[in-house]
Homo-oligomer: A and B are copies of this chain.
Amino acid sequence: MTATATAATTSAHFTHLKCKECGAEYEPQAIHVCEYCFGPLEVRYDISQLANTVTRQTIEAGPHSIWRYRPFLPVTSDNPIDVGTGMTPLVKANRLARRLGLKNLYIKNDAVNMPTLSFKDRVVSVALTRARELGFTTVSCASTGNLANSTAAIAAHAGLDCCVFIPADLEAGKVLGTLIYAPTVMAVQGNYDQVNRLCSEVANTHGWGFVNINLRPYYSEGSKTLGYEVIEQLGWELPDHVVAPLASGSLYTKIYKGFREFVEVGLVEDKAVRFSGAQAEGCSPIAQAFRENRDFVTPVKPNTIAKSIAIGNPADGVYALDIARKTQGQIESVTDAEIVAGIKLLAETEGIFTETAGGTTIAVLEKLVAAGKIDPEEKTVVYITGNGLKTQEAIQGCIGEPLTIEPKLASFERALERSRTLERLEWEPVLV
């Protein structure tokens, strides 16, 4: 039950943990904070060994999942937990591009990631594989919903005991989409930041593997695969611009890390990539700091429909700020109404149904284009991180109603005529 250090085997290329602030180094155990400066710990790799072993061909010959990038992930076992996670479609979004006036737009669609339809399946697959290696039999997490779904599902598949912590006011689909896997679910009467603080205490008193606390250095590395896959799916090329949602800031910084690693080991040619980030106005501490040119993030109390990214005290906020600035990217926020419009726009143009976080990212994309902050020619990749079926409340009442008819041809014809008239009234200029 307790975590013991596991040395990297010959097939693993990660070597140690290193503090992002003071550079102190640690054995790859279940720890996440520097003993000296309280900075976050990050996994380090033997880059020259990676450069000597990994080629485009060895990757392409791997499984059709995140595990094709196993040498870049912090696990030692040869049979990681693989439930088909990753290698989600990179869709050339021509219809959305045309609507926005762009020419080279791609959607990285993790709304259909496996098994639980969000990018969290990536980080959890890595974290639970590492948890097993470190000897944990109970896994846990502090979650805004998607992480709880993913941890509960993959723990069920792997036969690990599971206890998840969520804010008590989550969307029904996210609660039910966790309970179905029969973990213990603690609904905490408070916001995510309070849930997170409680979990830090529990991690200290119980010998559990918290994927996003004591296992966080391993967990967060899973997001790098969102960078690797885009490079591979673009034909081993970097994009010009990425737009990603910002919650803790971890996803965003890890996509950046993934890009840099592939450049360093020679898998892709280097070029400048602009990193833009998206927040909901009701929880936009990083966007506020960006706007006000601060290099610190002031915590806020979340109030937005985009609950999955409603983190008022983002752990990696300052690192996200740094990347946005040094890559000439932007960090923008949008209102809840704009988020709903973003969800609808993506569905109507591309047939992709995303949750509120995805609506936020699309709405920010739209805003950046309108402000001239994205060049129409730029090869732009937008990260869609979760599925709309989990946040149905957000769009109820905003997407119209079916036309109710009797099972008779005449009833259908009348309804069709009515709908066409409505459409004309809505879309065509009225001639007087």
In the assembled complex, which residues on chain B have CB atoms less than 8 Å from the CB atom of A109? 84, 114-115
Chain A positions near chain B (C-beta within 8 angstroms): 64, 83-84, 87-89, 91, 95, 109, 112, 114-117, 152-159, 163, 166, 168, 172-173, 175-177, 179-182, 184-190, 194-195, 197-198, 201-202, 205, 343-344, 347-353, 387-390, 392, 395-396, 399-409, 412, 415-416, 419
Q: Give the contacting residue for A412; candidates B115, B179, B186, B409; CB below 8 A.
A: B186
Give me 6 other A-B pairs in contact (C-beta within 8 A), A95-B157, A112-B112 excluded. Answer: A84-B91, A156-B348, A172-B392, A181-B348, A182-B399, A188-B407
B201 touches A409 (CB 8 A): yes
In the assembled complex, which residues on chain B have CB atoms less than 8 Å from the CB atom of A115? 109, 112, 351-353
Of chain B, the residue at the smallest CB distance from A400 is B179
In the assembled complex, which residues on chain B have CB atoms less than 8 Å from the CB atom of A343? 180
A402 touches B181 (CB 8 A): no
A347 touches B112 (CB 8 A): no
Question: A83-B351, A89-B84, A392-B176 are known contacts. Are A407 and B156 too (CB-CB below 8 A)?
Answer: no
A157 touches B351 (CB 8 A): yes
Chain B min CB distance to A303 (Å): 18
In the assembled complex, which residues on chain B have CB atoms less than 8 Å from the CB atom of A407? 188-190, 194-195, 197-198
Question: A114-B112, A156-B349, A184-B416 are known contacts. Are A173 and B403 too (CB-CB below 8 A)?
Answer: no
In the assembled complex, which residues on chain B have CB atoms less than 8 Å from the CB atom of A180? 343-344, 347, 353, 388, 395, 399
CA distance A34 to B187 in the complex (A): 59
Of chain B, the residue at the smallest CB distance from A350 is B157
Chain B min CB distance to A305 (Å): 15
B402 touches A166 (CB 8 A): yes
Chain B min CB distance to A353 (Å): 5
Chain B min CB distance to A339 (Å): 14
Chain B min CB distance to A107 (Å): 11
6 pairs of A and B residues whose beta carbons are closest in the complex: A157-B351, A187-B402, A153-B351, A84-B89, A185-B402, A190-B407
B205 touches A168 (CB 8 A): no
In the assembled complex, which residues on chain B have CB atoms less than 8 Å from the CB atom of A159? 95
Chain B min CB distance to A375 (Å): 25
In the assembled complex, which residues on chain B have CB atoms less than 8 Å from the CB atom of A387? 117, 389
Q: Give the contacting residue for A173; candidates B187, B205, B389; CB below 8 A.
A: B389
Question: A402-B179, A404-B187 are known contacts. Are A154 and B202 too (CB-CB below 8 A)?
Answer: no
A395 touches B184 (CB 8 A): no
CA distance A409 to B91 in the complex (A): 45
Question: A83-B89, A188-B405 are known contacts. Are A347 and B182 too (CB-CB below 8 A)?
Answer: yes
Chain B min CB distance to A357 (Å): 16
Question: A181-B347, A344-B182, A392-B176 are known contacts. Are A403 and B187 too (CB-CB below 8 A)?
Answer: yes
CA distance A402 to B25 in the complex (A): 39
In the assembled complex, which residues on chain B have CB atoms less than 8 Å from the CB atom of A416? 163, 184
B83 touches A64 (CB 8 A): no
A353 touches B184 (CB 8 A): no
Of chain B, the residue at the smallest CB distance from A98 is B159
Of chain B, the residue at the smallest CB distance from A399 is B179
Question: A91-B83, A173-B392 are known contacts. Are A181 and B353 too (CB-CB below 8 A)?
Answer: yes
A205 touches B409 (CB 8 A): yes
Q: Give the contacting residue for A408; candidates B88, B156, B198, B399; CB below 8 A.
A: B198
In the assembled complex, which residues on chain B have CB atoms less than 8 Å from the CB atom of A412? 186, 198, 202
In the assembled complex, which residues on chain B have CB atoms less than 8 Å from the CB atom of A166? 402
Best-buried of A180, A181, A344, A416 by chain B (most CB within 10 Å): A180
B402 touches A175 (CB 8 A): yes
CA distance A339 to B352 in the complex (A): 29
Chain B min CB distance to A213 (Å): 14
Chain B min CB distance to A267 (Å): 20
Of chain B, the residue at the smallest CB distance from A150 is B351
Q: Give the contacting residue for A399; candidates B176, B353, B403; CB below 8 A.
A: B176
Of chain B, the residue at the smallest CB distance from A188 is B407
Question: A396-B176, A412-B186 are known contacts. Are A153 and B403 too (CB-CB below 8 A)?
Answer: no
